[in-house]
Amino acid sequence: MYATSTKPKFRRLAIVFALAALSGSSLSATSFAATDTVLLPRNLSPWGMFLNADIVVKAVMIGLAVASLMTWTVWLSKTIELRRASAAARRRLSLLEGDTTLAEVAHACRDGGDAAAQIIQSAAREAALSDGIVDDGLKERIGLRLERVEAATSRRIARGTGVLATIGATAPFIGLFGTVWGIMNAFIGISEAHTTNLAVVAPGIAEALLATALGLIAAIPAVVIYNHLARSIAAYRALLGDASAQVLLLVSRWESLERQAPRAARAAE
């Protein structure tokens, strides 16, 4: 009778312990899940990752953002400058290609400040300094003046494009530095927390990838814009070269007329 009465008691105790174990395991799982939810960052947007980033990673991101802003500023300013300069050079070139003389073209461009006008004025100034004397060195002296004006104009029109080349070459490496720093912070967080939980690893990796993305965002447009501006500047230099060639043609024509004038006078006599 005693053995028979104790069996239900042991069964009831076993059921109670089993229920307690199950409830304890469910509570522990719930607590771990709650802990993971608390540890996971609430804002993984780009702005949130920037705010939660290390000071070094923040500095890298700000520098890349400034570099990107400089890229688009240079593109806008140089595009406007090149369009205006090219339009002015085409107008002067059409004037030089007409039936005209160097004196007439110089008078028409006396108030112009563009590069083609400076080329014409420089040639006219050299002709004036020669006191109308047409010798073998006149064309050479005018050619030297034109080369100096073209070189100075080319340097001025290309000013600012070196910044684009620098940004395109260095921005990926700056972003890579931010990536390396962010990954270092992630591993430091793992070692300090003594866990490989995603909540510890994710923020540093996200910040690192954001720095890489910003580096590419700054570098790719800089390279594309630099190549585009280089082609536009080369086309503008070609226009100036055509203008110089037309000026030299006018000088050569004037030189021929000046040399033929004494012969015509002698023939008339």
- Span 117-157, pLDDT tens digits: 888 888 888 888 876 666 667 778 888 888 898 889 889 99
Q: What share of the chain is helix, strand, coil (3-state, %, to 5)?
A: 85, 0, 15
* 131 vs 22, higher pLDDT: 131
Residue 231: the pLDDT is: 95
Percentage of the chain surpassing pLDDT 90?
Answer: 26
CA–CA separation, 114 and 89 (whole Å):
8
82 pLDDT higher than 90:
yes
Q: Give 181-198 pLDDT, tens digit per residue.
A: 888 877 877 777 676 666
Give the amino acid at 44. Answer: L
Residue 78: the pLDDT is: 94
Average pLDDT of the residues in 231-258: 84
* 9 vs 165, higher pLDDT: 165
Q: What are the angstrom distances between the C-alpha of 24 and each of 15, 20, 30, 34, 36? A: 14, 6, 10, 15, 18
Q: Give 161-181 pLDDT, tens digit per residue.
A: 999 999 999 999 999 998 888
Average pLDDT of the residues in 28-49: 51
* 17 vs 108, higher pLDDT: 108
Percentage of the chain surpassing pLDDT 70?
Answer: 71
Residue 217: the pLDDT is: 93
Nearest to 153 by CA among 87, 241, 72, 231: 241
pTM for the structure as a whole: 0.73
Give the 3-state secondary structure of residue 100: coil
Residue 198: the pLDDT is: 67
* 13 vs 56, higher pLDDT: 56
Question: CB–CB of 225/71 below 8 Å?
Answer: yes
Residue 37: the pLDDT is: 43
| Tokens found for residue 248 | 């030299």
Average pLDDT of the residues in 46-57: 74
Give the amino acid at 112. Answer: G
Residue 223: the pLDDT is: 95
Residue 206: the pLDDT is: 77
CA–CA separation, 107 and 127 (whole Å):
13
CA–CA separation, 252 and 127 (whole Å):
12
Of the listed ranges 52-66, 121-135, 171-185, 227-241, the least confidently predicted one is: 121-135
Average pLDDT of the residues in 222-229: 95
Q: Give 188-225 pLDDT, tens digit per residue.
A: 777 776 766 666 677 777 778 888 899 999 999 999 99
CA–CA separation, 229 and 244 (whole Å):
22
Residue 219 buriedness (CB in 10 A; 0-12 / 13-18 / 19+): buried
Residue 222: the pLDDT is: 95
